[in-house]
Structure 1
Amino acid sequence: MKPIKLIVLISLLTTTTCYSAIVESINFIGLKWCKKEFVEREILLKPGEEFSEELLKKSVRNLLNTHLFYKINPLVKKLKNGNVKITFYVKERFPIIPVPKFRLKSDGSYKVGIEIRDYNLSGMGNKLFIGYTKWINTEFSQDRYLYFQLYRLIKQKGSINGNVYSHEDESEKTFKISVASPWFLDREKIHTLTPGTTYLFLRDKDTNKIKHYFFSFLSYSIDRTTDHVYYTSGTLITFYVKTAIPEISSTFTGSFVGSYSKQIHTKNVDSWGYSFLSGTNFGNYVFPLSSGIPGYDDSKSSGKRFLTFSLNYRKAVIDKSVFVKPKLYFGTVFPSRNFLLTPGIEAEIFWAKLVDGIIKLSFFRGIGSNSSSTQANVKFGFRW
């Protein structure tokens, strides 16, 4: 009986291999702002190729991770000839968002401004952000910035990103321009390599001294996250190195930063996560690195080296519209070696049709080393 069973098994496997379903057509229902060429580029299944459930799932992930959709439902219909027809039913997020900027500090100063974001310029996933902010009830300070991304412009793998930023306050004027080119190293857009360059101009208003820095940088990321619209799940690992070009910069300096984060889906749309972040300067110590720990002023939360950990839990308290997110930061900054500990909470009113939440409120307070001189920061952010 054993030889007969083996022959039957081989026959079944051979039949499955030879007569696998072929994708006859792929259609999209519900497109408003995205062009058909854009979504066809993101999916991993093509007409005439063999159908795969795994590639279908990865195609949905690719589309969700463009952050332009809040609902994607694929329907696979089996035809009489054994092949399949795939229809994606999609609903898009609104791509153009005016963003009022408002931030309040405990010392009574506040920042106001406006930013206009287009997340889907020309319907091909290109981005353009333009913004202006100004601090009020404190010393003079203002920022202007522009950011753009030409998405998958080079051979459908490489993008071109650029940003221009200017800052001016009572003592200093800063101008920065950066250009980078992220490259997807695989069809699933998990591994990304990004080379780039930055020019930084600094002018001290008191002494009128000018410094120039020309940086080259390289980052590598392993992104296994999925944007489920109401929550994000998966891991993200990034490495980033930046160095000033000695021959044309005022001095040699640079930095290296690495991070690991993971978000885990629990139930409904709730999730919890944790992250590790570490960085160090090398060369001349010119630009302190921020540890990213809120609730402390810059002199305590920035330094030559840092190590940061965080824990968070994001829970829906009203359906899928209102979320609260308790969060805990802890870490240390060198050379001060102060232990920084910050508990806090974020609240968000969320509308899935938009790119971000409508209103975000966060409160964090540092209670670690030198806590008597820490700050309690309240930040408001508006999205619609």
Structure 2
Amino acid sequence: MGITIEHVGKQFGDYAALQDIRLEVRQGELLALLGPSGSGKTTLLRIIAGLEHADRGRVLLDGEDAAGLSVQARRAGFVFQHYALFRHLDVADNIAFGLRVRRGAQRWPETRIRARVEELLALVQLEGLGGRYPAQLSGGQRQRVALARALAIEPRVLLLDEPFGALDAQVRRDLRRWLRELHDRTGLTTLFVTHDQEEALELADRVAILNGGKLEQVGTPAEIYDAPASPFIYSFVGAVNRLPAHWHQGELRAEGGTLSPGGRAGGEGAAELFVRPEDLRVDPAGHGWPATVLSGQRNGPRLRLRAELAGSGREVEVELPAHEAGYAAGQRLHLVPARFGWFPANVDGAGGGMAASGT
């Protein structure tokens, strides 16, 4: 099922939870709704499911206005962060619940319901656990049961609201890989709410970033990370160094050096420079910004340095391959931004650019 969101707005008293949201969710894709707490992502998910009503705009499900459709008629499988399993029902009965509450011609025979439950237990890799109760399962297993229950009704769309938020880091990583494989097997249109950037970038075909009830950018994980549309996205998705800069006569200057915008249109006046830690290179020839190492920390295959720029005294983070270890506190070096972004100073929206560069 494809989903079209047209100019959707939602108020809670004086608080604007959503402001003029326009978004196309393609059939069969996994789209992550990413943003900080209070950005409106869960509200948008609940409006699609029919659990909330938009004050303005409309939601189209395969071209049909969803305003006249009940929650059941939308056939959305919803998975909550805290599972919402029935503690007094075993795993099999939890999965079958949505099928057993159907009435009339929509109610399946019990033999078909049991067959569907067994099929789903195999799909979520919980064969043989149908007789257990939720309290007898791990957190990861409970979330798989919640997903199986959502899939039991043969939904047209799968909606997941922070489904791994209550799990520890290793279980989250394992379930992320499993969910991606499950999505590829089922082909269901899936919307996935998260505030975890790593989760969104690893799982999704595309990512929609919300902030303060507004949609800031939609794109593939690579587009979101490599070409952020605003200073907020640059800072929210991945680590970044922010430095003051200045455009003058077509040149972008920062920390006493001139940066090449790589053929992109320039600006005039004050600007902000954005350089990710992995895009700062150590130049053995002594070109670039002189700096002094403050500290270094090994993190698996990467080395993270804190360095102080000689010209301004500002601190930057530098991320290097671990084989380049050996930098000690007090050591002097020169840094060159291999890639950078810039935006006019004191603006929140688009208008900047990305470039490969040398100083």
TM-score category (smaller protein): under 0.3
Using CA pairs below 8 Å that are at least 6 residues apart, which structure has the higher relative contact order?
Answer: 2
TM-score in terms of structure 1 length: 0.23
TM-score in terms of structure 2 length: 0.24
